[in-house]
Amino acid sequence: MNDFINSSIFDLFKVGPGPSSSHTIGPMRAAALFLQRGAAANLKNVPASLEVRLCGSLAATGQGHGSNRAVAAGLLGEVPENCNTERLNGLLSDETVYQADFGKFCLNFDRHSIIFDFKTPCLKFQNTMFMRLLDSDGTIIFELVVYSTGGGTIVVEGEDDNNGSIAIPPYRFRNMDGILRLSAKYELSIAEIMVGNEQVISELSKVEINDKIDNLIVRMLDSVERGIVADGVLPGPIGLHRKGGCLYRNSKKMKFEHERFLAQLNAWALAASEENAAGNLIVTAPTSGAAGVIPAVVKMLRETYAMSDEKLRIGMLTAGAVGMIARRNASISGAEVGCQGEIGVASAMAAAMIAAVHAAPSKVVECAAEIALEHHLGLTCDPVYGYVQIPCIERNAVGAVTAYNAYLLATAGNSVSQKISFDEVVAAMLETGQRMCSDLKETSRGGLARHSLCE
């Protein structure tokens, strides 16, 4: 595996159905891969059935995250970016028998074929999936073990982390210090470095990269717009009412501009996050649970600051760099490091975005990201009932506001005298996540999940 960062920003920002990138998008992609690999496998016997075992955090909170439905959708040929969310949300609700088409053979499956397995230990990662073809006496004749490592990324057991491409980007860096050195050496912004690398990694022209980023921005703004006009109760046992639209309407009546600004930033984050909780299409930024922070900031930059498309692209590329550095050197998975890796990283990405679109020097961009992440250190993942609603939705709003605040703090004084680097905070996040007890890492066995409606 290459040591430097060589993954595409389009692997970080992905369109897919909510509510969770690791528990919904990852399992859906894994099931699609299982179809593909099962079809290509050299099998002695024609399989009689299939089973999928969802282990670790996938078992603990998979019901609330719809992981079983995501697997079923993947087995039925759905792909996250164009997924029919209405159909997805209705899957496995009764005893319907579905058919998975492996090409050379088809297999029936139903709600009992996809198992929340609390007993089988995970292998290398908290979110482990055992995907099996069985013969008529239940013997396993083909098995694919897949990990969902966060942000919708999947890794197959026994294979290299396919997070990166084999391309060698022109600007090689492993961390923030590395990209800052490149920025100083070549007198390029972080966004310019990212574009140079992206052209090689994804083999796209600048125009194609811009088009893809523009599409992501449209999809993000879409999730905000849909959420702002949708009222009602979110799915699941909590009975949580949406409030993004309500706060936005209230903001229109607010007398003071500063109050309106803050209310709207909060409302946009709530709106996109509520769309995620409803299982509708969102953009992972860097995860689905954190899918409200960056869209809210993009909306603010467009609406309040009238930032151009070009500026927003710069912001997205800069945010992408921050997310990739956090993913490479720590994690963006709540199951691995808690919510500091999801909302914390999203807030850091958004802070860097705000600084970059204001043409701040790279050092100030780093400082903004550092401040935003620093004040999320230690944040646990404790979704009530395993649903990405409480504390997740309001946490997106708080993450967006923190991003703006971090930008303001970063622009005060001389950023060169900054005492803590982004890389140090990322290292602290990893260590904190490793020392965090597993009950506080997307299992719904600790924190708010224990001391609220579940008790």
Instruction: Decide whether 245 or 383 has the Cβ nearer to ligand SF4.
Output: 383
As measured in angstroms, the least distance from the Cβ of 381 to ligand SF4 is 3
Answer yes or no whether residue 289 interacts with ligand SF4 by CB under 6 A. Answer: yes
Tell me which of 319, 343, 349, 425 binds ligand SF4, using CB under 6 A: 343
C-alpha–C-alpha distance, residues 322 and 368, integer Å? 11
Instruction: Decide whether 127 or 183 has the Cβ nearer to ligand SF4.
Output: 127
Instruction: Decide whether 388 or 430 has the Cβ nearer to ligand SF4.
Output: 388
Q: Pattern of binders to ligand SF4 over 172-211, x per CB under 6 A? A: ----------------------------------------
Evaluate the CA torsion angle 42, 43, 49, 50 in order and state its sign: negative
How many residues touch ligand SF4 (CB under 6 A)?
Answer: 13
Q: If we measure between CA atoms, which residue out of 346, 327, 331 comes closest to residue 402? A: 346
Q: If we measure between CA atoms, which residue out of 327, 448, 433, 451 comes closest to residue 387? A: 448
Answer yes or no whether residue 392 interacts with ligand SF4 by CB under 6 A. Answer: yes
List CB contacts of 320: < 8 A, sequence separation 6 or more: 9, 12, 13, 194, 349
Using an 8 Å Cβ cutoff, are 283 and 15 in contact? yes
As measured in angstroms, the least distance from the Cβ of 392 to ligand SF4 is 3
Instruction: Decide whether 146 or 339 has the Cβ nearer to ligand SF4.
Output: 339
Select the span of 37-45, 46-54, 243-251, 383-391 touching ligand SF4 (CB under 6 A): 383-391
Instruction: Decide whether 222 or 442 has the Cβ nearer to ligand SF4.
Output: 442
C-alpha–C-alpha distance, residues 369 and 409, integer Å? 11
Instruction: Decide whether 173 or 385 has the Cβ nearer to ligand SF4.
Output: 385
Instruction: Decide whether 175 or 331 has the Cβ nearer to ligand SF4.
Output: 331
Tell me which of 150, 152, 334, 433 binds ligand SF4, using CB under 6 A: 334
As measured in angstroms, the least distance from the Cβ of 102 to ligand SF4 is 33
Tell me which of 336, 342, 366, 423 binds ligand SF4, using CB under 6 A: 342
Q: How many CB atoms lie within 10 A of CB 209?
A: 20
Tell me which of 339, 357, 364, 426 binds ligand SF4, using CB under 6 A: 339
C-alpha–C-alpha distance, residues 367 and 372, integer Å? 9
Q: If we measure between CA atoms, which residue out of 350, 393, 284, 347 comes closest to residue 23? A: 284
Answer yes or no whether residue 391 interacts with ligand SF4 by CB under 6 A. Answer: yes
Three-state secondary structure string covering 81-133: HHCCHHHHHHCCCCCCCEEEECCCCEEEECHHHEEEECCCCCCCCCEEEEEEE
Structure tokens at 438: 């597993």
As measured in angstroms, the least distance from the Cβ of 161 to ligand SF4 is 21
Site for ligand SF4 in 431-450 (CB under 6 A): 442
The string of DSSP codes covering 218-271 is HHHHHHHHHHHH--SB-SSTT-PBP-HHHHHHHHHT-SSHHHHHHHHHHHHHHH
Answer yes or no whether residue 373 interacts with ligand SF4 by CB under 6 A. Answer: no
Instruction: Decide whether 189 or 287 has the Cβ nearer to ligand SF4.
Output: 287
As measured in angstroms, the least distance from the Cβ of 168 to ligand SF4 is 33
Answer yes or no whether residue 383 interacts with ligand SF4 by CB under 6 A. Answer: yes
3-state DSSP assignment of residue 141: strand
Select the span of 150-158, 304-312, 317-325, 384-392 touching ligand SF4 (CB under 6 A): 384-392
> The tokens 């603990």 sit on which residue?
60
Evaluate the CA torsion angle 200, 206, 208, 214 in order and state its sign: positive
As measured in angstroms, the least distance from the Cβ of 279 to ligand SF4 is 14
Instruction: Decide whether 21 or 264 has the Cβ nearer to ligand SF4.
Output: 21
Answer yes or no whether residue 222 interacts with ligand SF4 by CB under 6 A. Answer: no
**Residue type at position 9:** I
C-alpha–C-alpha distance, residues 428 and 374, integer Å? 9
Structure tokens at 117: 């397995």
Instruction: Decide whether 209 or 265 has the Cβ nearer to ligand SF4.
Output: 265
- Would you tell me which residues interact with ligand SF4 (CB under 6 A)? 289-290, 334, 339, 342-343, 381, 383, 388, 391-392, 395, 442
